[in-house]
């Protein structure tokens, strides 16, 4: 029996993803979101996602019934062991919501923020007990992708980072503690580098959005499910591995690194990217595409 209670604050894309993950792993969840219809939206997400988490194997105590919506942050957090904050990515809003969480949470509760890029030290500023705040940055869909980056701020204790690590691990995740604070942490910085170049290629008319996606989907993307850039290049260097790889391709690699461009996100570029994606999707809705993605990820995992 998993006797930890989880509070989810903000039940949008990511908050709902966390809800499905914690329910599937046998936790009790209490949720709060001020938007009208939040509970019905969450029920819908649970219904759509349950088949995927079920096929990966549910915890013996897992139940999609073990969730309760409440009407205040206080009621959501007061008995929780972990509070996961998932409100929109605005520093002032997050600081205010975290201050309220901090006010009503148990003193030894962990507070995790899902922020994609804000440094935890900035999130700690208004807290009376900043030592228990960590960034716990997940990946969409949270109920399937196991990585969570854990980053402490200047006032976070080592014990809290470890406690957060262990709790996310109990939710069947692959937590990674990042010791140095940096905007965007590790995984999103890597994604940003690729995203920036993808926009540049579309902006300069070198490739369409569909061609950029194809270049990843049928090439490096297939490998990335198994290994990252370092092991990929280690294998690309023949039997001497990375040693040969750097000797052979090191000088050549300097060239693209210095030539990468950062395009400006103009209205024209935005329109081209939106049109490109809508044309590529055709008559397939986002829900249909998500269903297909989930089925693929389940097979892969």
Which residues ranging from 64 to 93 are in contact with ligand NAD (CB under 6 A)? 86-89
Pick the binder of ligand NAD from 5, 7, 8, 10 (CB under 6 A).
10
- CA dihedral for 259, 260, 263, 268, sign (positive or negative): positive
- Residue 46 CB coordination number (10 Å): 19
Q: Does 14 bind ligand NAD (CB under 6 A)?
A: yes
Which residues ranging from 151 to 210 are in contact with ligand NAD (CB under 6 A)? none
Stretch near ligand NAD under the rule CB under 6 A, chosen from 43-51, 136-144, 207-215, 236-244: 136-144
| Helix, strand, or coil (residue 120) | helix
Pick the binder of ligand NAD from 97, 98, 164, 198 (CB under 6 A).
97
Stretch near ligand NAD under the rule CB under 6 A, chosen from 9-17, 196-204, 209-217, 227-235: 9-17
For ligand NAD, the closer CB: 100 or 197: 100
- Residue 131 CB coordination number (10 Å): 17
Q: Does 115 bind ligand NAD (CB under 6 A)?
A: yes
Say which residues have a Cβ less than 8 Å from residue 226's Cβ, sequence separation at least 6.
none
Q: Does 42 bind ligand NAD (CB under 6 A)?
A: no
Give DSSP secondary structure letters for 133-166: EEEEE--SSTTT--EEEEEE-TT--HHHHHHHHH
Question: Is the distance from CB of 11 to CB of 68 less than 8 angstroms?
Answer: no
- CA dihedral for 113, 118, 119, 124, sign (positive or negative): negative
For ligand NAD, the closer CB: 27 or 32: 32
Residues that bind ligand NAD (CB under 6 A): 9-15, 32-35, 86-89, 97, 114-116, 137-138, 140
């Amino acid at each position: 029996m998993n006797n930890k209670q989880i509070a989810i604050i903000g039940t949008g894309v990511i908050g709902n993803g966390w809800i499905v993950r914690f329910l599937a792993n046998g936790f009790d969840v209490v949720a709060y979101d001020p938007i009208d219809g939040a509970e019905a939206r969450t029920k819908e997400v649970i219904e759509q996602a349950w088949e995927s988490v079920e096929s990966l194997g549910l915890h013996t105590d897992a139940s999609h019934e073990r969730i309760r919506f409440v009407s205040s942050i206080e009621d959501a957090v007061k008995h929780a062991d972990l509070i996961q904050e998932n409100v929109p990515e605005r520093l002032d809003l997050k600081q205010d919501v975290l201050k309220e969480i901090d006010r009503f949470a148990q003193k030894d509760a962990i507070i995790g923020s899902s922020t994609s890029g804000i440094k935890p030290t900035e999130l700690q500023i208004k807290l009376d007990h900043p030592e228990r705040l960590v960034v716990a940055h997940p990946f969409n869909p949270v109920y399937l992708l196991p990585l969570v980056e854990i980053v402490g701020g200047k006032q976070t204790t080592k014990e809290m980072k470890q406690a957060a690590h262990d709790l996310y691990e109990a939710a069947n995740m692959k937590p990674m503690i990042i010791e140095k604070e940096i905007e965007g942490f590790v995984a999103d910085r890597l994604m940003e580098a690729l995203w920036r170049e993808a926009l540049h290629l579309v902006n300069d008319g070198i490739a369409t959005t569909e061609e950029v996606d194809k270049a990843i989907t049928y090439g490096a993307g297939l490998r990335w499910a198994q290994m990252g850039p370092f092991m990929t290049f280690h294998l690309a260097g023949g039997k001497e591995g990375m040693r040969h790889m750097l000797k052979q391709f090191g000088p050549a690699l300097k060239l693209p690194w210095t030539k990468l461009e950062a395009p400006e996100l103009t209205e024209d570029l935005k329109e081209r990217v939106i049109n490109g994606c809508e044309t590529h999707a055709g008559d397939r809705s986002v829900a249909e595409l998500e269903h297909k993605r989930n089925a693929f990820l389940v097979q892969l995992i």
